[in-house]
Each structure stands twice: as structure tokens, then as C-alpha cells.
A = this chain, B = another copy of it.
Amino acid sequence: MTKSEIIEPFLKRLRVSTDIVEEDERAISSLPIVARQVANGEAIASIGDRPSACCLVIDGFVLRSKIVGTGQRQILAFHQAGDVPDLQSLFLHVMDHDVSALGNCVLGFIPHGPLRDLIKHRPNIAQALWRDTLTDAAVFREWICNIGQRDATSRVAHLVLELYTRLKAIGRTDGLAFSFPATQALFADAIGTSVVHMNRVVQELRSRRLLDFDRGRISILDEAGLREAADFDALYLHLDPSL
């Protein structure tokens, strides 16, 4: 994998959110990034760790999660190509949650030192990265609404639309479908329900012809109907930075 393949999703994302100049791109190109294939479920950073590098998703998906006192796991976020899920470790030195691979993926590791230098000397990039962590927070807020106020069916519909919308923005959808290597159990951990109930919800959404789950592939059958069921409004994703 060449250096330009490694940083391409990252650059793409930065370009949409800020006016990156040639010098910025050069600075990013000279970052010492080590790319690595990571297997499904492998830990990238764990609660209590003090990472010395950030992880850039190059291909595949990464999830963030936390184990609560009862031993149950809550999934906090899903990350796709171009995301830096643990950018916070630059400023919050101790991890307060876990980061792990969702399916097999390719990750790039950027040491904190050079990343800090980049932020210091390239204000455009600093701003784009700060903005990124803020949209992250906006997604967390929407998840709080989703889990706190909507019933399980809407929650699943909402999450599917979120994933679809974000993947579409980076051109990784296939019509109204996209590949996402998650089991129903994993989805259940994300929306805060039991696996059994998650399964019943999936069946309901299928029978209402809104969407379909099939071994790592999610297909939207009726986008308008799903939006309606999900109470979905993409505003919170802040995909258009000019707004």
C-alpha cells in the first residue's frame, strides 16, 4: 500500500471541511504513518491506556465501546475510512473507553509527536481536526436522543440511516445498500437492547419492507419509509461544512 493510498481517505475528509493549501497536503504527506491490517475484534486501544499514537481508518470499520458494571457492552460509535477515532488521546491522555476493529480493516498509526507538530504549524489542519471531533460529539448527542427517546424499531432504522448517509458521503455505498460486517448482537449493543429483541425488530423492519440485513450487508428497501420510521434528519452529521 503506497503512502498516497494510505492518506487518501484522510485528505479527502480534510478537503471538504477546510481550505487545505498545497503546503498542508505536503505536511500531511510527510507524516510518518505505519499502515497495518487489523483483524476483526482486535483491540486498538483499551480503557486506561495512554496511547502514544492515533489511529487513522484507511479501510473497513472501527468501533468504540465501553463495558458497564453489569458486564454489558455499550457501543458508542462506528468509524469509517478517513476517521481518526482516537484523536482525543492527543489531549485526553488516558483512554476512557475501548477502540477495536469491526471486521478486518486497514489502519494507519500516526505518532502523537508529529501529529502535535502538524497541529501547531498548520492551523487549517488543526481547525479541520477540531471540527471533526465536534461532529463526533454531535453524533454522540444524537445517539443519546436515539437511545433515550425512540423505541427499538426507530433506533435501528435511525442507526442504519446514519451509517448509510455517512458512507454515501465518502462514496462507499452501493446504491441503497452498503456492506457493514456487524452481527445482530453487535447492533443490539449499539442501540441498547437485547439480541432477542434486536432480532424481532429486524424481522419487523423486513416485513414492513423498509430494509434488509444479510450477513454483513444492509440494504435499504424504502428510503422514505425508513426516514419516517427513524425520525431521521441528517443535520447533526454536519456533512456540509459551508453551512
- A: residues with CB less than 8 A from B are 47-48, 64, 66, 68-70, 72, 74, 76-77, 88, 91-94, 96-97, 120, 123, 126-127, 130-131, 133-138, 140-145, 147-150, 154, 191-192, 231, 235-236, 238, 243
Contact = CB atoms under 8 A, between A and B. Distances in A.
Given A72-B149, A133-B137, A147-B147, 7 more contacts: A68-B231, A76-B144, A88-B134, A92-B131, A92-B138, A130-B130, A136-B137
B137 A91 contact: no
A232 to B, nearest CB: 9
Contacts of A243: 93-94
Contacts of A238: 92, 94, 96
A32 to B, nearest CB: 22
A77 to B, nearest CB: 8
Which DSSP category, helix, strand, loop or mixed, fits chain A's interface? Answer: helix
Contact of A192 (B130, B149, B231): B149
A74 B137 contact: no
A140 B144 contact: yes
Nearest to A94: B243
Given A131-B91, A134-B133, A145 B68 contact: yes
Contact of A94 (B76, B120, B235): B235
Scoring A127, A138, A143, A145 by chain B CB atoms within 10 A of each residue's CB, the highest score goes to: A145
B235 A141 contact: no
Given A74-B145, A134-B133, A231 B69 contact: yes
Contact of A235 (B64, B96, B148, B192): B96
B94 A149 contact: no
A79 B154 CA distance: 29
Contacts of A231: 68-70
